[in-house]
Amino acid sequence: MTGSPGPIRVALADDQAVVRMGLKALIDREPDLEFAGEAADGAEALRLLAGTRPDVLLLDIRMSGMDGIETLRAIAADPALNPTRVIVVTTFELDEYVFAALRAGASGFVLKDSAPEELAHAIRVVASGEALLSPAITRKVIGRFGRHDVAPVEGLDTLTPREREMVAWVATGRSNDEIAKELVISPDTVRTHVSRAMVKLHARDRAQLVVFAVRSGLTIP
């Protein structure tokens, strides 16, 4: 939502009409959410985003035609579209598309069978500029992909040891408060180090920090 007043504008992209109907009903029942339109495939989603500029896009990763990964990459490559935060809506917590979606710019994941209040919470979290990555998903991502895609990350050498440590902790899926509790430091200290690391790595959100941590092989000391 980028801090602007008014409701959070949410668009949908899914090739199943019944799924779109359910998600639209969820959005319509929440007073702080506003339905911004729907699309049945990636190409239609890009046109929808260009015309409506929603705050959040709920995106199915497996669509016929232009799939979710291609759509994410197109959004990330277009400065006019990439302010929209993307939540991937998936059937499974982890499949072969999850890490690819993270690398392509997804800000979070929710399961299609999540409770309505969980989906609404996910939209609010991502609209506020945070990432939505559960510890379960991040652990699985690191476990499955973390040792197979290690590569240099530009800017990593500019991080202080403490900032590198914080990026590694972020990759566990923990919040600032949870990291602070683990390290017995204040949440503000964690927030400061994480923010500085994001600036140095040109990361748009915590989801990208997870990608950088996995790609560079960063682990908790």
Top pLDDT among 28 and 217 is at 28
Distance CA 120, CA 161 (A): 37
Cα–Cα dist 45/29, whole Å? 23
Rounded to whole angstroms, how far apart are CA atoms 96 and 85? 21
Run of H or E including 74: helix 68-77
Is the pLDDT at 3 greater than 50? The verdict is no
One-letter amino acid of 185: I
State residue 150's pLDDT score: 54
* Phi, psi of 109, deg, nearest 5: -135, 145
Q: Dump pLDDT digits (tens) for 94-112.
A: 556 777 787 788 888 887 7
Of 158, 153, 166, 156, whose CA–CA distance to 195 is shortest?
166
Beta strand 56-60 with 33-39: parallel, antiparallel or unpaired? unpaired
What does the block give as tokens for 168?
């590694």
- Residue % of the chain over a pLDDT of 90: 42
Q: What are phi and psi of 173, to 5 degrees?
A: 90, 5
Q: State pLDDT tens for residues 127-184.
A: 887 766 665 666 666 666 555 555 567 788 899 999 999 999 988 777 888 899 999 9
Q: Which helix (H) or strand (E) holds 90?
A: strand 85-90
Question: Is residue 1 pLDDT above 70, yes or no?
Answer: no
What's the pLDDT score for residue 93? Answer: 58
What local confidence, expressed as pLDDT, does residue 183 receive? 93
203: closest CA among 169, 157, 154? Answer: 154
